[in-house]
Amino acid sequence: MLEYRLTPNHAGVALWGDFAALERLHGFIHYVVQESVYIEDKEGFVLGLAYDVRKAYSGQRSVDHRGDTKDDRCRIYGVEVLWPVLLTQVGVLRQAMAFVPTNKLDQAIMFELEHVVESAVRAATPVLADEVIHRTRSASNATYVHLESVLDSRCRYFIALPPKQRLKMLPKVMATFDPMYGYLAKSDVTMRPDVIPPTAFIDSDEDWPDFEW
């Protein structure tokens, strides 16, 4: 079973699960990435979620126990993922499933992942949760190439925000994944004051700056 834990500085969410649940999720992600024509880069950012999950159940990230009694206790493994990254990964996986044969187990794994992530969003920011989820679903209608091309700059912007501003700005950050945002940015249309200006986003080949989860 998957579960989540929020991080203290609102940079992302920690995905937790027992060995079997994480191993199933890892295999599912690999299957969708490899088989779906929607995901053009088979070694790209979506496969990064499988990498994180594998590192977790291999004991190379966080380890804890679930259950209150000795008979109920089982080891669980966790890994933190940045909010914009995880939301985009989950949205792309759902979109990609439309292009591959899936069975009930595949659907169950996907529904569980979506449920855990959406539950985390609602726990982290109850007031803005619906907008975050809506923006994420809208972004997943874009092409894979577009999402991959803008993800890094959005993450850099999000990381640089003060911790208390991250959740407040999350729906606005996710809104900039929409291809229409890029179109308007290149036109003479004046954007609303509450929209993040395109000049706020910086593309770079350097590693992300250090940040606290």
pLDDT tops 60 at residue 188: no
Q: Give me the percent of the chain exceeding a pLDDT of 70.
A: 94
Q: What is the pLDDT of residues 55-112, one digit of tens each?
A: 999 998 999 988 777 767 889 999 999 999 999 999 999 999 999 999 999 999 999 9
3-state secondary structure of 85: helix
Whose CA is closest to 153, among 205, 83, 191, 193? 205
Q: Is 198 exposed, middle or buried (0-12, 13-18, 19+ CB in 10 A)?
A: middle
Q: Percentage of the chain surpassing pLDDT 90?
A: 77
List Cβ neighbours of 184 (8 Å cut-off, separation of 6 or more). 191
**Sheet with strand 74-82: strands edge to edge:** 2-6, 12-18, 74-82, 62-66
Average pLDDT, the chain: 92
Helix (H, G, I), strand (E, B) or coil at 74: strand
